[in-house]
Amino acid sequence: MYSETVMDHFTNPRNMGAVKGADAVGRVGNPVCGDVMEIFLKVAGDRISDIGFKTMGCAAAIATSSMTTELAKGKTLDEALKISRDSVVEALDGLPPNKVHCSNLAADALHKAIANYRSGRKEGETLEEVLGQYSEMGLDEKNSKALWDAGVRGVDEIRRMHLEELAQVPGIKPEVAAKIKKAAEDR
């Protein structure tokens, strides 16, 4: 059962949609549940002046994205980096245990947007860049495309995934998942 706060953020999401002229975007996905989140940032000085999100996922995914943007709005980049899975869950008055992973994605998308901003990346990872990373790891086109289609956007995301999650990506065989995980960690 969801808390009233979760239901409020699901039915009345705050900061939903892309931010026009965003300075950075953070995109993450979970191939197991299929959730994909994007956080868009505008930064003035060292402070988040505007923030938005696009999420494809369940009620918890939308609520965690909404809450994450509320927690980050107006904060400095360093303050926003302190927003964690636990702080998002706490602000939502809890989540069912099987939905806590959604808060991981929302916080990860925020952190990735900040990292992209600080590294001068405006748009986040492009298909060509990600496929290039996968090619450098020795992945063939079929497995690279399967990862992309599942929302896995680069070597860093593969490193953060558990082997079991990677093995559940549609089109990735379990024995291939182990090789992909090792190649990402060795890179």
The candidate with the shortest Cα–Cα distance to 90, out of 112, 113, 68, is 68
Out of 95, 102, 106, 169, which one is annotated catalytic? 102
- Is-catalytic flag, 58? no
The candidate with the shortest Cα–Cα distance to 24, out of 3, 1, 66, 52, is 52
**Cα distances (angstroms) measured from residue 116 to each of 24, 94, 125, 156:** 6, 29, 9, 13
Q: Which residues contact 40 (CB under 8 A, 6 or more apart)?
A: 18, 19, 22, 24, 25, 51, 52, 53, 54, 113
Out of 19, 33, 83, 155, which one is annotated catalytic? 33
Which residues are marked as active site?
Answer: 33, 102
